[in-house]
Structure formats: structure tokens, C-alpha cells
Amino acid sequence: MSALFSVFCAALVFAAPYQAERLIDSTNDVADARSLATTHAALASEPHIAGTPGDERVIERLTETFRALGLEVEVHRIAPLLCRPIDARLEILGEVLPTGARRGVVSLDLRERNLLEDPATAHPDLTYGWNAYSGSGDVTAGVVYANYGTRADFARLVERGVSVKGKIVLARYGGNFRGYKAKFAEEAGAVGLLIYTDPADSGFARGATWPAGGWANDTCVQRGSLVTLPWPGDPLTPGIEATATAPRMEQSALALPKIPVQPIGYAAAERIMARMDGTEIIDEQSPDKAWIGGIKQPYRFEGGDGLQLRLVVRQERFIGNTANVIATLRGAKYPDEMVVVGCHHDAWGFGAADPLAGTMVLVESARSFAEAAKKGIRPDRTIVFAAWGAEEFGIIGSTEWVERHREALQSSAVAYINLDMAAMGDSFGASASPALRSTILAATQRAVSPFDGQPVYDRWASSKAKAGDDGDAAGRVPTCGDLGGGSDHVGFWCHAGVPCISLGAGGSPGTSYHSNYDTVAWYRTIVGEDYNSALMITRVNNAVVALLASGEVWPDDPASVVRDTLRLLGAARTAAAAGKLQPAVEKGIEAFAALEPIAERASARLVTIRRDSTGAAHVNGHLRKLRDAWMDNHALPERRWFRNLFAATDRHSGYAPSMLPRIAEAIEDANDVALQNAVARYVRVAKQMQVELEAIAAAN
């Protein structure tokens, strides 16, 4: 890492405001594994899908918990478009008899089997597997296997001469967001889609399955939303808060799936594959060998004329009622500036891992700061602890809150920290906007891991080295990932331009993702009943929040932003080379390369200002304008909700980040004119940044 970056991190660690040091020590004296376990058990005591009575009871529990801590609490009610399952059936049809009846109809199970070892799996409020916003229908058709159902997979089927028109597609989870599997299948002419969990990805091929181990057993079904609209949040109110009286689009105008979509376990998928008799994927030298998963049956492209499936899916879409629970601790010096910490509270079942492995950390962190405040140790800035509603249906709750408060967030939010499913093992990791990466490094040096009593930073760096990723080669600094789609940071980062951090720890041997097995029993058996993972993340989060909420000057590191932009432009140049488009990208590289020394001087000046507390009064205004330089209401003309030129969600996978998205999309489309226009827009960003960086570098 650069010498300046080392200095910047050191300044945060050793020259952090005295109040930050007091907050870190005080809050982490409060954080307790037993408290985390109690919160976890309470929130995971029943299924709580958004819009259901269980969801409402979780909202009440969170409200009572935050109020008991002495925090200001708002229950932010929203009325988004939700849906519920009505009926689903999947049958393998035998031959047609002269009477018109079918011989040997086989019904396939669509839900997990109940387990004596985990009595919670028999709870009456658990559902069969379903994908929210599926089309409703009753279709009978042959079957085509499409691997992960990515764009490339459907293109490969075309190359092989395999048509999915009029067929039911069988695809496995992974590779992209499930909604894009449905989108691509429908575009290719399929009449239905089955999505299954392959044992090679997260079943017996990975290890012992639940309840003997943590991996998905043969009946485990992954639920989840299918929304792929060009905006997150409530499908009917893009850009505005989904209140009960909000103006809404007509549902008929939405590009939601029209075909029925049904998730299944690999036991059901195996019974289908056993009856397929099309071309087998067997050639180890074939480019299609990656299509072979872990099911003990031949993997074939087509089912053949003799195999017919009947798929029935019926769902009801409705304007639902759910809420965000917002708990606030007012800042002592700068109450109008805020640090927001959040995790969603809704789940597809009990949600012990997703989301409550993060929600319990949110609550424990709130308890930590509330107890510190009672002792007179208050943050300089306001801290908002937010439990978001209906994230699982399409990042709804947080998006509606951001849309409601966008102007205030752009002017006064220092950062957003996301904790979704945060405590899932002993291996720490983080993703972040570049301006805040040094804050994570500083916080992990101040937070002690309960696993070994050493700073979390040391454990993080060591795990990266063992995995063959030393981070920055010169300084052995562990690296943070890029933030894109998939969780509640999207509204803050991609729409309002607020720098974000995502904290987490993984590495546990298994997954119960979006299944009826996501219970406290699974979590305590597989992740650990000691709750050390949750305690570690709580301590890191407390340290991050303390650093962000203390001191007069915002913690942004502008030099890191410029360095990251150059890294991303370098990757774009490589991608553009294949289409001979790289000359346009060079202009962007030149602009930000010229900006780098100015940014280094600005960051160096910020270190001095933070240490000496001189010249701080107007510096935050320049830092805010540096963020604003990246914001554009026309950042992505085809996805107007995304306003941040630095980052968006990938338009074809949903989960992955699209960095410098206007450039990335022009390169992907091989559109030279669009690329030149995109680069010109980023050059203007560099010019805007230069004005603010020079002002910071010269600040007295």
C-alpha cells in the first residue's frame, strides 16, 4: 500500500478523537455473547415472512427492545407490493392411455421433510418452497436442462441447437440472481422454470448434510424473490416512498415473470433427471463439462419426447403492510449528522442465519451504545440503528426509507454500515466504498477477536494469507471487496451516494439459505453455540461506528477513491482491448492519473486537520462535494434509479457489483460511441473533484 495510505490508517488508529477511543472501549465492554444468544432466540422464535402476522410480531419485539434501551424509536410503516403462495404442484406424467388418463403420475415434494432432530421444522407457519412474484399458471411440457440459467448458458443451448421454446427449464441455483434465470428462460420462450439446489454446489458433495452436518440435504429448498426491475424497493413506486396513499404504477405495466417458477430440492431434480433421455453431457474435454453437477444421474440437455412435467403455481400479489424499526441515539455535538447501521428483519422462515445472524449484531450494538450513553459517553454524531422490512422481496424497506430521506442523507449521512447475515463463522471479511476502507482497517486493529484474543485485523490478514490473497502485495494489507447489489446498502450507495460498509464473517461448514432449516438449532450446531462470531462482528461494528461518529471531520479518504478509480479503469482498459475500444478508456485513466497527486496531498492535509483540529469547519463541505461529483440523475439512462457513477448492481446478475457502470456497460455492449460519451462524463467527474481536492489540500 502507499505510504500515504499507511499514514491515513495510522491517523485513524492512533490519532482518533479521544471520544472515539472512549466509545470503542465502553461499547465493547458492554457487548456480550449471552445477550446476543438471547436476542437471537427471541427473534428466531417463529417464521416471519414480510407481511405476515409473524412479521408483525417481530416488528413489535424490535420496537419494545429498542425502547427498553432508552433510544428514540420510530416504526416506519410502508405499503409495498408483496405476494403470497396459494398453491403449487409438480408432477412427472406417465404415458397417455387411450382413455386420455395418464399412467403413473409421480408427484414431487416441494418442501423440506420435518426432522425429529430439529422440531422447529414442523412449525405450522412454514411454507412449501416458493419464489416470490412468480407468474401463476398450469403448464404441461417437456424439460430442458440449462445449467445455472445464465445468459451464457442460454446462449450455449442455442449454439448446441437446443430450443427451450415451449419447454420447462430445469436450472440450478448459483451463477446469477434467481430472477434473471426466470427472465432469461421467459425470453427464450420457456413456459415454466424449476430451480434446484445442486449437491455439488451446496449439498452432499461439500460435506455432511443437515442434520448430520450443515450442508443442504436432498429436500432443502431455496426460496427467494424473482424481481429484476431496473429499480429496487417497492415495484409500484420507483423513486418515491411506498406509503399507503402513494401514487402507484399499474401492476400490468411491471416486467414481472409471467411464467410459473418453482424452487425444488435435489431429490426432486434427481427424479426428473433419471427420466431424461436426451444428449448426455459426458465428454471431459467438452466445454460443457462444467454443466455436470453432483446428482448421481446423467446430466442431459433435453428430457426427450417421452418426459412430460406438469407445473402448477398460483400466487396472489397484494399491497401489504410491513415496517422499518428505526432507533436513534442523538449525537452530542453534531446531532444533524448521522451514521446509519442496518440489517433487515424479515425472513423466508425462522431466519436464524439470514438475516438474524446480522440483526442480533445490530441490536447488541445498539445496546452497547445505549449503555455507554447512560454513562455519559455519547457519540458526537447521531447514530441510527435500522431494522429493515421486506428486504427479501426486493430490498424494499431500506429503499423506501432512503427515498423518503434522500436529500437529508446526501447532505448529512457520514456512512451506512450493513450487517446482513453478518455472523456466519470465524473468517472476517468486509466490502466498502473506497472512501471508508481505511476506517475498517483501523477498526479491526482496535477490536479484539473472541476466538484468540488478538486484534481482528491480525486474524483477517492471516486468513487472507492462508487463502493465497495477501491483499496489497507491498504492505500485506487485507483488501476489502467492492459493493454492488444484493442487500440494504444499495439504496444508500447507488441512489443517494452515501459511502457504505458491509461487515461479515463466514467459513462455517454448511448453508441453510432461505430454507425451512434456517433455525436456531442449525445455527448453534453449525456456526457455534458460543456466539463468538456474532461477538466478533459486534466489536468490529462498534469500533467502526465509534470512528465514524466521532470528531469534527468526516473520515473520507479521497486518495483511496482516486486510486480505486484508476484500478477500475485499468480493468476496463483490459476488457475494452478485446473489442479494440481501449483508446477511449485511456482518456479517463489520464484524467484520474493527473488527479492522484492532488488527492494524495488532500488526504495528507486531512490527517493533519484531524490531528490538530484546525481548518475543520469547512472541510466537510468539500468532502460532501467530492461525493456529489459522482452523482448524476442520468448516470445510467436505462436504469434511472441508479444515480452513482461509481457503482451499480450488475444488470445481468443482480448480486454482483458493476463498477464504473456507465463505462462497463458500454464495453459489454461493444458500443464505441456510448463508451466515448461515458468516459467524457467520468473526465468531468475528475475535473469536479480537482476543485474540491485543491481546496482541501490548501485548507488552513
Q: What is the mean pLDDT of residues 445-459?
A: 95
Three-class DSSP category at 359: helix
- Sign of the C-alpha dihedral computed for residues 468, 201, 221 and 510 taken in this order: negative
Residue 606 scores a pLDDT above 60: yes
Whole-angstrom Cα distance, residue 170 to residue 75? 42
Percent of the chain having pLDDT more than 90?
87
- Which three three-digit cell numbers place residue 313? 403455481
Q: What is the mean pLDDT of residues 53-59?
A: 98
Phi, psi of 454 (to 5 degrees): -105, 160
Work out the pLDDT band at 17, boundaries 50, 70, 90: low
- Which three three-digit cell numbers place residue 112? 423440506
**Taking a C-beta distance cutoff of 8 angstroms, is the pair 599, 561 a contact?**
yes
> Could you tell me which of 471, 468, 474, 436 has the C-alpha nearest to residue 457?
471
**Taking a C-beta distance cutoff of 8 angstroms, is the pair 435, 499 a contact?**
yes
Question: What residue has cell string 480505486?
Answer: 564
Burial (CB count <10 Å: 0-12, 13-18, 19+), residue 244: exposed
Residue 465 scores a pLDDT above 60: no
Q: What is the mean pLDDT of residues 586-597?
A: 96
> Could you tell me which of 141, 132, 131, 157 has the C-alpha nearest to residue 272?
141
Distance in Å from the first CA to the final CA of the chain: 28
Q: pLDDT per residue over 300-341, tens digit each?
A: 999 999 999 999 999 999 999 999 999 999 999 999 999 999
Three-class DSSP category at 1: coil
Q: What is the mean pLDDT of residues 121-132?
A: 98
Q: What is the mean pLDDT of residues 574-599?
A: 90
Q: What is the mean pLDDT of residues 230-242?
A: 97
Domain ranges of the chain: 3-80+320-548, 84-315, 558-697
> Could you tell me which of 572, 23, 664 has the C-alpha nearest to residue 331?
23
Predicted pLDDT at 664? 95
Predicted pLDDT at 700? 77
Q: pLDDT per residue over 472-489, tens digit each?
A: 444 467 889 999 888 999
Q: For domain 84-315, which CATH number applies: 3.40.50.2300, 1.10.10.10, 3.50.30.30, 3.40.50.880?
A: 3.50.30.30
Work out the pLDDT band at 1, boundaries 50, 70, 90: very low
Q: What is the mean pLDDT of residues 1-19?
A: 54
Work out the pLDDT band at 577, boundaries 50, 70, 90: confident
Residue 239 scores a pLDDT above 90: yes
Question: What residue has cell string 488478538?
Answer: 454
Predicted pLDDT at 652? 87
Predicted pLDDT at 14? 41
Q: Going by C-beta distance under 8 Å and a sequence separation of 6 or more, which residues neighbour residue 372?
A: 23, 26, 27, 30, 378
Work out the pLDDT band at 98, boundaries 50, 70, 90: low
Q: What is the mean pLDDT of residues 212-227?
A: 98
CATH no. for 3-80+320-548: 3.40.630.10
Residue 574 scores a pLDDT above 80: yes
Whole-angstrom Cα distance, residue 323 to residue 59? 7
* Radius of gyration over every alpha carbon of the chain, rounded to an integer in angstroms: 26
Q: What is the mean pLDDT of residues 603-619?
A: 81
Domain 558-697 has CATH 1.20.930.40: yes
- Which three three-digit cell numbers place residue 41? 432466540
Looking at residue 508, the DSSP 8-state letter turns out to be: -
**Taking a C-beta distance cutoff of 8 angstroms, is the pair 667, 675 a contact?**
yes
Indicate the range of 85-99, 411-425, 637-651 predicted with least confidence: 85-99
Q: In this structure, are strands 261-264 and 322-329 parallel, antiparallel, or unpaired?
A: unpaired
Contacts 24+ apart (CB under 8 A), 657-662: 657/482, 657/483, 657/484, 657/485, 658/484, 659/482, 659/484, 659/568, 659/571, 660/565, 660/568, 660/569, 660/572, 661/635, 661/636, 662/635, 662/636
